[in-house]
Chains A and B, each alone.
Chain A
């Protein structure tokens, strides 16, 4: 299949290439390459705009991930004018990407079926795809929503301010009695302009931006960013640093998965697991704090390696805490599977069928719970995951029960992985100096955060500074999956469906 479309450049995760190596195609060829790739079971990891050397044009880049061949494909095209034909009708997974390009660069995807802003911010080019006058304020979630008309059809609006202490987002339900016909999610309340702030970097501040792209995925985003810098600077982090990064990433996964299972139990009113998992999540966060002093891993991942080393005493302590954490988690989580009233709530709630999950390009536990074998740690490995493999778990039903059970499977694998790494921690330095970044280059780094694929793409200018830095949080792929999963569900099941996805608002809003 790949022989028939040699147009795209073939890359590996974390491989820096000269920008000239990325072919600039005609739009037709670009479009065909994406459609062919997706037809050949590849998926769109990123699709974004950047400045073009041609005056008045915008360059679009695409990153396709081929999980079966463990390869990445990248290509570009120049769009002149202020519009381009939309790919969404033939490739639904680019739906949000095209809206994002329209918002950031004022390029209208002609034929887009649901053409709305993503984050409700001004474009970077001064050109507005919706023709809004410059003096008109742009407010999140203001505008038309999909509407269902009819007898007994009613609309329920939830958010942006929620009852719990969570991030802001607006959910608009079209309901028939208790049944949800359609859910539309409007985000953008958390937009901070990180991608713009990253341009011109790296500066001493850049790593902190990376760490706070999505606070609960600090390690995943910081690792992706550091790999970008390391690839561009052609420096090789040490084996010890790679291992410690892997340990931190799995600890992050453990804390969040355990917290999610507790929160799911809490949402159905099942107290014991909710209480215990809330505490155990804290235990796992404290293990990360043992590594670096921060419960969320701030300051741990640094360009060139890690900021903190582990001594023998702390390794032993981490091993002890891990054993205790595993024991407690096993007891608390198994209560869920053994309580019929809990399973009655989880099973058949919010199903996301395999073909929909694939078509929407979902990633991470959401995709795996629907039966897609997709895990960056195996498919596009980097760092320690090249040497040490974690089995990929999948479930088939794609409902809340599957997403919950998958988390439990991953918890067990992650604990085993950390234990193995601690047993054979390589010796040596944990950090190497980082040189200047290569000019005029492009690099793509992927990591499997606990929510799924974290994708960073960096382009450097002639001085070796970032001219464009694209971040794709897994939530960006998965939010449409949540909207789909709610179809024909009861509105009272929305909280557990939402919790079973547990997507990031700020990771989406950037």
Chain B
């Protein structure tokens, strides 16, 4: 019970800190002090206290977008095990729900963007769904590899699989899907080299372009949901690349915190040392992710 409460607490409270770590790492590379680690929390609170401006051309879809996104990522967060602990919700085939919760969030985000009728938001939506066509199958292949390795169709068992059944046979597929999953993580959470979350240039935006018209509490919800998505996908990746457990709760929780914050640091380093890809090269990267995951699956079932 205490672990489930901790699971929910981590899911609700930790995500903005990841953004803080990424920002801090990037600032360090740029030779700057950077914003405080807790700045994302302050920003969320600040936005929450603001008023809401709604365009007269928008409908309920515009308001539903952020809310549905938040609800879906939170539910997705309850389906995955965090660290060495089991997920609060688990049933056979929950991996399908997991993947399609993200699909549902995307559907509502893009619909809310199209609802405004803005050229920028239409452009952002088009890019988002185009790239999702490639990242979604990659995620599925990765999940299939994990299902095969663990022999289970429950996310909890699947994600604990690498830790339990680590043998030489599965090492190669796991390495391949961890590369693929990392790229999917970057694409889904709008990080470099796919998207630049800090840019102010509308024409280059993917995800930011879709939320240009959202402000105040709705924007706060969007930013919060995006950080939760980072935590959820990061946690999935950690199960594959760092399947370590002590078996003691008081050691495993700190271990998980170190791992996830370290992952945020790695993303920060990556964002600091490379430029963004040209928009037409982004699909190549995602096809690469798809090939990594697909090839991992082929290796496993051959």
Query: Which chain B residues border A492 with CB–CB below 8 Å?
Result: 203-204, 278-279
Query: Which chain B residues border A164 with CB–CB below 8 Å?
Result: 200-201
B272, B275, B280, B281 pick with most chain A CB within 10 angstroms: B275
B276 interface contact, C-beta 8 A: yes
B192 interface contact, C-beta 8 A: yes
- B193/A271 in contact, CB under 8 A: no
Which of A339-347, A367-375, A379-387 forms part of the interface with chain B? Answer: A339-347
- B279/A267 in contact, CB under 8 A: no
B202 interface contact, C-beta 8 A: yes
Interface string of A39-68 (1 = CB under 8 A from B): 000000000000000000000000000000
- A272/B30 in contact, CB under 8 A: yes
Complex-state Cα separation, A392 to B235, whole angstroms: 56
B277 interface contact, C-beta 8 A: yes
B168 interface contact, C-beta 8 A: no
Complex-state Cα separation, A173 to B119, whole angstroms: 11
Interface string of A470-510 (1 = CB under 8 A from B): 00000000000000000000111111000000000000000
A275 in complex: contacting residue of B31, B199, B202, CB < 8 Å: B31
A276 interface contact, C-beta 8 A: yes
Query: Which chain A residues border B123 with CB–CB below 8 Å?
Result: 156, 491
A317 interface contact, C-beta 8 A: no
B196 interface contact, C-beta 8 A: yes
Complex-state Cα separation, A164 to B273, whole angstroms: 24
- A276/B30 in contact, CB under 8 A: yes
Complex-state Cα separation, A345 to B277, whole angstroms: 7
**A339 with B278: in contact, given A163-B200, A164-B201, A275-B31 (CB under 8 Å)?**
no
B280 in complex: contacting residue of A271, A339, A490, CB < 8 Å: A490
B140 interface contact, C-beta 8 A: no
A268 interface contact, C-beta 8 A: yes
- B119/A495 in contact, CB under 8 A: no
- A345/B278 in contact, CB under 8 A: yes
Query: Which chain B residues border A269 with CB–CB below 8 Å?
Result: 192-193, 196, 198-199, 271, 275-276
**A178 with B201: in contact, given A157-B119, A276-B30, A341-B274 (CB under 8 Å)?**
no
Rounded to whole Å, the gap between the CB of A315 and the closest CB of chain B is 29
Complex-state Cα separation, A373 to B120, whole angstroms: 39
Query: Which chain B residues border A155 with CB–CB below 8 Å?
Result: 119
- A271/B29 in contact, CB under 8 A: yes
Rounded to whole Å, the gap between the CB of B26 and the closest CB of chain A is 6
B26, B119, B201 pick with most chain A CB within 10 angstroms: B201
B302 interface contact, C-beta 8 A: no
Q: Is the interface of A mostly helix, strand, loop or mixed?
A: helix
B32 interface contact, C-beta 8 A: yes
Query: Which chain A residues border B204 with CB–CB below 8 Å?
Result: 267, 492, 495
- A271/B278 in contact, CB under 8 A: no
A178 in complex: contacting residue of B31, B198, B273, B280, CB < 8 Å: B280
**A271 with B272: in contact, given A157-B119, A490-B278, A492-B279 (CB under 8 Å)?**
yes
| Nearest B-chain residue to A265, judged by Cβ | B275
- A344/B278 in contact, CB under 8 A: yes
A345 in complex: contacting residue of B26, B30, B198, B275, CB < 8 Å: B275
Rounded to whole Å, the gap between the CB of B124 and the closest CB of chain A is 11
Query: Which chain B residues border A339 with CB–CB below 8 Å?
Result: 273-275
Rounded to whole Å, the gap between the CB of A469 and the closest CB of chain B is 37
- A268/B275 in contact, CB under 8 A: yes
Complex-state Cα separation, A495 to B275, whole angstroms: 14
**A158 with B31: in contact, given A339-B275, A345-B278 (CB under 8 Å)?**
no
- B203/A158 in contact, CB under 8 A: yes
Complex-state Cα separation, A349 to B123, whole angstroms: 20
Complex-state Cα separation, A154 to B199, whole angstroms: 24
- B274/A345 in contact, CB under 8 A: no
- A494/B203 in contact, CB under 8 A: yes
Query: Which chain B residues border A265 with CB–CB below 8 Å?
Result: 275
Complex-state Cα separation, A279 to B271, whole angstroms: 20
A270 interface contact, C-beta 8 A: yes
A207 interface contact, C-beta 8 A: no
- A178/B30 in contact, CB under 8 A: no
Complex-state Cα separation, A309 to B271, whole angstroms: 46
Complex-state Cα separation, A493 to B204, whole angstroms: 7
| Nearest B-chain residue to A279, judged by Cβ | B31
- A275/B30 in contact, CB under 8 A: yes
A395 interface contact, C-beta 8 A: no
Complex-state Cα separation, A344 to B273, whole angstroms: 14
Query: Which chain B residues border A349 with CB–CB below 8 Å?
Result: 278
Interface string of B262-292 (1 = CB under 8 A from A): 0000000001111111111100000000000
Complex-state Cα separation, A94 to B277, whole angstroms: 38
B204, B273, B277 pick with most chain A CB within 10 angstroms: B204
- B203/A491 in contact, CB under 8 A: yes
| Nearest A-chain residue to B212, judged by Cβ | A163
Rounded to whole Å, the gap between the CB of A79 and the closest CB of chain B is 42
Complex-state Cα separation, A384 to B57, whole angstroms: 61
Complex-state Cα separation, A267 to B204, whole angstroms: 9
A285 interface contact, C-beta 8 A: no
- B193/A495 in contact, CB under 8 A: no
| Nearest A-chain residue to B30, judged by Cβ | A275
A-B pairs, top 10 by smallest CB distance, nearest first, are A275-B30, A163-B200, A269-B276, A268-B275, A492-B279, A269-B196, A270-B275, A341-B275, A341-B274, A342-B275
Known A156-B120, A275-B31, A279-B31; 17 more pairs at CB < 8 Å? A156-B203, A163-B202, A267-B204, A268-B275, A268-B276, A269-B193, A269-B198, A269-B271, A271-B26, A271-B29, A275-B32, A339-B274, A342-B274, A344-B278, A345-B275, A492-B203, A493-B279
Some 30 contacts from A to B, beta carbons below 8 A apart, are A155-B119, A156-B123, A157-B119, A158-B202, A158-B203, A163-B200, A164-B200, A267-B204, A268-B275, A268-B276, A269-B199, A269-B271, A269-B276, A270-B275, A270-B276, A271-B30, A271-B271, A271-B272, A272-B30, A272-B273, A275-B31, A276-B30, A276-B31, A339-B273, A341-B193, A341-B274, A341-B277, A344-B278, A490-B280, A492-B204
